[in-house]
């Protein structure tokens, strides 16, 4: 029971989830882009979401997650079992390692990609913060490409007819 409670208290606590949700909402709002997310949702549902969602993705959700994360860290209390048994220091260290294993995964991966990338630091950062070029196009982007292709073909036809 002691080990289960240690895992439950540290590995599954809300602070880890709040920290990760803050970064996920920052990525959706700022890296992937709220406008692009609107286009993707419009493709899936055939209706454009309300602009309140953009405000939530960019500002409200990261702010609320950050405040909740800070509050959970401020009111942190060391783990005890039945309010009597106090865990040894090595158990607290193990618990924090469990918590940090899920929190540090995302920044650790980003740091590894920054070190392994080519180009200047600014170029590597921009590359990491831009969507993959192999992502499927939205209907709007496909329509723009088809319109551009059609316009170019029409111009070629007009030029060939005038010659």
User: Which comes out higher in pLDDT, residue 38 or 131?
Assistant: 38
User: What is the rounded CA–CA span in Å between residue 58 and residue 157?
Assistant: 46
Express each pLDDT in 131-163 by its tens digit: 776 767 666 677 777 777 767 666 776 777 766
User: What is the rounded CA–CA span in Å between residue 83 and residue 81?
Assistant: 5
- 120/53 same-domain check: yes
Place of tokens 């920044």: 107
The answer to whether 80 touches 87, Cβ cutoff 8 Å, is yes
What is the pLDDT, as a whole number, of residue 139?
67
- 30/91 same-domain check: yes
User: What is the rounded CA–CA span in Å between residue 14 and residue 130?
Assistant: 29
Express each pLDDT in 74-98 by its tens digit: 888 877 777 778 888 888 888 888 8
Query: HSE-up of 80 (CA within 13 Å, CB side)?
Result: 7
Give percent of the chain with pLDDT exceeding 70.
Answer: 87
Residue numbers of the domain that contains 145: 132-163
- 112/147 same-domain check: no
Helix (H) or strand (E) holding 109: helix 105-116
**Residue 29 burial by CB count (10 A; 0-12/13-18/19+): exposed, middle or buried?**
buried
What is the pLDDT, as a whole number, of residue 105?
84
- 79/15 same-domain check: yes
- 117/153 same-domain check: no
pLDDT average, residue stretch 19-46: 86
- 124/149 same-domain check: no
User: What is the rounded CA–CA span in Å between residue 144 and residue 162?
Assistant: 27
Distances (CA, A) of 94 to 10, 87, 99: 9, 11, 9
């Amino acid at each position: 029971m002691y080990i289960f409670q240690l895992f439950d208290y540290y590995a599954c606590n809300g602070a880890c989830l709040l920290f990760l949700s803050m970064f996920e909402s920052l990525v959706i709002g700022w890296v992937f882009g709220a406008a692009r997310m609107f286009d993707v949702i419009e493709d899936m549902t055939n209706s454009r979401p309300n602009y309140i969602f953009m405000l939530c993705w960019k500002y409200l959700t990261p702010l609320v997650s950050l405040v909740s994360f800070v509050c959970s860290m401020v009111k942190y209390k060391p783990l005890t079992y039945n309010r009597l048994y106090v865990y040894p220091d090595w158990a607290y260290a193990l618990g924090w390692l469990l918590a940090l294993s899920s929190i540090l995964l995302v920044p650790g991966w980003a740091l590894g990609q920054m070190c392994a990338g080519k180009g200047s630091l600014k170029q590597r950062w921009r590359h990491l913060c831009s969507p993959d070029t192999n992502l499927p196009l939205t209907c709007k982007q496909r329509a723009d490409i088809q319109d551009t292709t059609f316009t170019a073909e029409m111009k070629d036809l007009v030029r060939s007819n005038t010659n």
